Amino acid sequence: MLDVTVKNGAPVAKDFKSDQEVRWCPGCGDYAVLAAVQSFLPSLGLEREKIVFVSGIGCSSRFPYYLNTYGMHSIHGRAPAIATGLAASRTDLSVWVVTGDGDALSIGGNHLIHALRRNVNLKILLFNNRIYGLTKGQYSPTSEPGKVTKSTPYGSLDAPFNPISVALGAEATFVARTIDSDRKHLTAVLTAAAQHKGTALVEIYQNCNIFNDNAFEHLKAPGEREAHLLRLEPGAPLAFGERKVVWDAARGTLAAVDASDERPAVLHDPTLQDPSYAFAVARLQDPASLSPTPVGVFRSVSRPTYDDLMDQQLAASGYGSQAPDLGALLAGADTWTVGAPERAVVE
């Protein structure tokens, strides 16, 4: 346990490290994300005590134990709901959710989409390793079709979720994807998410070296990754390897074509209010090969947050400016008096 001392001065990375021994498997992608988060949190300019990490169940959900902020390791799938209650009642806090592909998209899918549509001021980090790690290797709702695991010896039958599509379908106001091993990109995306007012969903491709090793290797290996990674930069053309993304007018959607195609590459714009464009970008990805894989910010738009709207309703009702009269509430409109009236009856 750390001694209780209220420090003066800006916190640094080590201030965000808890004294707990990290218990992920050696080589797990979670280490890289933890290191990135610990080193980027000081840049937020927030007091450490104002930051809360809430997680569900799964390997990634151990995350809060390793950060010296406030934290809650909750139950499977429910972190967005718990965090919603916290964020809606405490707008002074910076509330983060750490979840995984099973936690967020399988058992907790309902809470995820409703948090996104409400636009509660939450930052959701979805660690996607496309496998169930903590229960030792069953397929997950993001596993590629036909995945052979202990629970699917003949191959999985379900079509996977694309988490970005799900989030955009729920009209999330901030949706991004990044990769555990790319520290610079990870930090940039997390920073953008932190600065966003409203629910931010960041999908982080994270390697499970025990049960699904190298699931994203082709997106990481220098020399190979360029052919698959579609880096989303505001105002920049959508392009990867020898290909680019154009508007396919005949089909009414985006299409990846050879760089030699005469049509101009589409210029990325994450600020479009209509989520259709961002959805089309998300759908460029092939679910089996993960190629191309767009990374970066798909969508970042402004919409009032649930917690601010709730605060406004309370303020408009006089909360905070007028002392409420509990006695009047209890009495209501229709009263009568028995015996000597203790006070005048207001009728």
Partner 1 sequence: MAMALQTAETGTDPADAERDSPGGKPVESLHRVVIRIAGDSGDGMQLTGDRFTQETAAYGNDLSTLPDFPAEIRAPAGTLPGVSAFQLHFADHDILTPGDAPDVLVAMNPAALKTNLKAVPRGGTVIVNTDEFTDRALKKVGYAADPLHDGSLDGYRVHRVALTSQTVKALDGHPLSRKEAERAKNMYALGLLSWLYHRPVDQTLRFLEQKFARRPEIIAANRAAFQAGWNFGETTEEFEVSYEVAPAALPPGRYRNISGNPALAYGLVAAAQRSGLELFLGSYPITPASDILHELAKHKAFGVRTFQAEDEIAAVGAALGASYGGALGVTTTSGPGVALKSEAIGLAVSLELPLIICDIQRGGPSTGLPTKTEQADLLQAMFGRNGESPVPIVAPRSPADCFDAALEAARIALTYRTPVFLLSDGYLANGSEPWRIPEVEDLPDLTVRFARAEEYQGSPFLPYQRDPHTLARPWALPGTPGLEHRIGGLEKADVTGEISYDPANHDHMVRTRAAKVAGIAQSIAPIEADDPSGAARLLVLGWGSTYGPAQAACRLVREHGGQVAHAHLRHLNPFPPNLGELLARYDRVLIPEMNLGQLALLIRARYLVDATGYNKVRGLPFTSTELAEEIQRILLEVEGA
317 backbone dihedrals φ, ψ, rounded to 5°: -85, 0
Is 169 exposed, middle or buried (CB count within 10 Å of its CB: 0-12, 13-18, 19+)? middle
- The nearest distance, CB 111 to partner 1, in angstroms, is 5
- The nearest distance, CB 347 to partner 1, in angstroms, is 9
Three-state SS for 254?
A: strand
DSSP label of 144: P
Q: Could you say whether residue 318 binds partner 1 (CB under 8 A)? A: yes
CB contact at 8 A, 184 and 35: no
* Rounded-to-integer distance, Cα 33 and Cα 342, Å: 66
* Rounded-to-integer distance, Cα 154 and Cα 65, Å: 37
Q: Could you say whether residue 319 binds partner 1 (CB under 8 A)? A: yes
Contacting range for partner 1; rule: CB under 8 A; set: 109-117, 166-174, 183-191, 295-303:
109-117
Q: Based on CB atoms, which residue is closest to partner 1, 118 or 196?
A: 118
- The nearest distance, CB 41 to partner 1, in angstroms, is 12
CB contact at 8 A, 215 and 180: no
Q: Could you say whether residue 49 binds partner 1 (CB under 8 A)? A: yes
Q: Could you say whether residue 342 binds partner 1 (CB under 8 A)? A: yes
DSSP label of 206: -
DSSP label of 261: -
- The nearest distance, CB 39 to partner 1, in angstroms, is 18
* Rounded-to-integer distance, Cα 13 and Cα 122, Å: 22
What is the rounded (10 degree) CA torsion for 155, 210, 193, 285?
-30
Give the total of residues touching partner 1 (CB under 8 A).
69
160 backbone dihedrals φ, ψ, rounded to 5°: -80, 160
Contacting range for partner 1; rule: CB under 8 A; set: 110-118, 133-141, 148-156, 291-299:
110-118
Q: Could you say whether residue 75 binds partner 1 (CB under 8 A)? A: yes
- The nearest distance, CB 175 to partner 1, in angstroms, is 19
Using CB under 8 A, which of 28, 34, 58, 64 touches partner 1?
64
DSSP label of 44: G
Q: Could you say whether residue 224 binds partner 1 (CB under 8 A)? A: no
Contacting range for partner 1; rule: CB under 8 A; set: 129-137, 173-181, 239-247, 308-316:
308-316
Three-state SS for 300?
A: strand
Contacting range for partner 1; rule: CB under 8 A; set: 171-179, 197-205, 279-287, 317-325:
317-325
Question: What residue ranges bind partner 1 (CB under 8 A)?
Answer: 1-6, 18, 20, 47-50, 52, 54, 64-65, 67-76, 78, 81-90, 92-93, 110-111, 114, 310, 313-314, 316-320, 322, 324, 326-327, 329-332, 334-343, 345
